[in-house]
Structure 1
Amino acid sequence: MAILAWLRLLRLPNHATAAADVLAGFLICSQARILELPQPVLWWALAAGVCLYAAGMVLNDVFDYELDRLERPERPLPTGIISVRTAATVGYALLAMGSVLACIAAFISHQPAVALIGAALTLAIWTYDRHAKQTAFGPAFMGLCRTLNWLLGMAAAGGPAMPQQWLLPIGMGMYVTGITLYARDEASRSRIATLVVATLLMLAGLTTTGAYAYCLATKGGGSAWLTAGRLDSWMLLWCVLSISILLRAVLGIIDPSPSRVRAAVGNAIMSIITLDAVLVLSSCSEQWAIVVILLLAPFLFGRQLVSVT
């Protein structure tokens, strides 16, 4: 029972999305074309990203304890299975561990930017959980966290090598801002206007991120898919994925009930892994795209045990 409570507190399945972001950012900036054992810095960056994500999940419930007692009494902290003090200790320990791991990644890669981004991500996570979540800036801070998570992986590989690569963290940040806004009132009946704005933000994020492959192809770069003239196929795949995400969001607008909204949010979160894999396909080998998509396995398995929202 206690183990399941911790899995729920950590929202364990979602950690796969954090790993996918760091991995995708690293692979794209390093332009990995051959499937081989990654550099050690990637493992440290992955560990840092996952630890910081876990810290955010735990501290989220710590600071939302009073609200959850009213709106989500079934959560691990209101039920008393895990004490607030224990959760806070674990959350801050994970936050510190993630920062240290980012510093180690910076040291072994000789990339100080990794440590700086890790520090910025740590601050953004704490600010979101402690102060910003219940304000109008909450969704933007969550999007910022996702942007920094992408940049953590990119910096570990030396950082963006071309201007269009900045579209990736910016676009994914916009997408997650939309998801966060969409989920804002999921415990009750959501406001249609909020859902519409959130859906438009997700659309803007998907469009911005997808524009990366177009910019890459027009300059004669990218993976074998793009250099072989398969940009149309890549764009079709991206559009199909985007439509599948946005269709769920529109269904939530039509019926803004908690169950329908949570289903749309869960699908949008899960799709982060798929989107990351398709982005990797635009710049790296198909084998690396498969490695990223395999992160769906722990996500789907974990979703059978605990909710992702």
Structure 2
Amino acid sequence: MADVAAKAGVSRALVSIVFRNQPGAGQETRDRVLRVADEIGYRPDNAARLLARGRSRALGVMFTVRQTFHADLIEGIYAEAERHDYDVLLSATTQGRGELKAVEALLSHRCEAMILLGSESTPAALGALGQRIVAVSVGRRMPGSQIDSVHSAEGKGVRQAMDHLVEMGHRRIVHIDGGRGPGSAERRRAYRAAMRRHGLDSEVRVIPGNHTEESGIDAGRLLVTERDGGQPLPTAVLAANDRCAMGLLMAFGRAGVDVPGEVSVIGYDDSHLSHLMPVGLTTVRQDAVLMAEHAVRFAVQRLDNKELEPQEAVIDPKLVVRDTSRPPRTT
């Protein structure tokens, strides 16, 4: 700022007034100061200015780098954060970079609050984090953790998918579960409950998996191997999520299994991948925009009032029927 002031022939205080867009400088002076700043390549450091006031106005977001649904959530978070005049900083978990490193990176950049997408940490660990910084969990229920949470009604989404399949005449319905992934336990319980409710206890089968394409590929290969050994294929599969469903479709395609002619497939999330597949994926939509809006609002509200009771937003999912589900050839 001193360099700008010297070259523009004004005081440093006047340069500060111009950069802060405060009254006290005429238009000609403002134009000259901004022109000089542009010529010498000076840009006001807004981050430093905010930190000097004890604020960063930055929301940190922890996400998993390969989870396509997280990309949809992040897009919504950016839009809502901008409406509240907050910036967004991202930190990813990968196969070699766990949640602890991702969170510590955000803390080191002085984020005022943290939004955790699909965290697999224990409620106790998240509760401890909530004692250090305002935190919001997105994608899983957090009973007793004392932090805000946003998630979809997992059981309702699974019931919609199962009712759709059973009403079409499916009986041999397999579920590839999501392991320890967010929402997986609720989806697994809802699948078993739906099978019992429809009188299909003897057909219940859960194949262990996770929220990756590799999980779907492995499950598909298993089912194809069983078919080649004389065991019939299921007539429908409820996958852990859209990525898992994509892997399953790949495995079935390589083995010549017709989807949905032989096997119907349903995913979960309605991530942008479900629209890009050659065959439109029937899936359960989680409203990424609405979830993102709630997460940002919860964070901003708690920054304004740390005494608020923990808030929980439960978003209704919706089954989206596309091309990968149809009545079975034989019931």
TM (normalized to structure 1)? 0.28
Which one has the bigger helix percentage?
1
Q: Which has the larger radius of gyration?
A: 2
Which one has the bigger strand percentage?
2
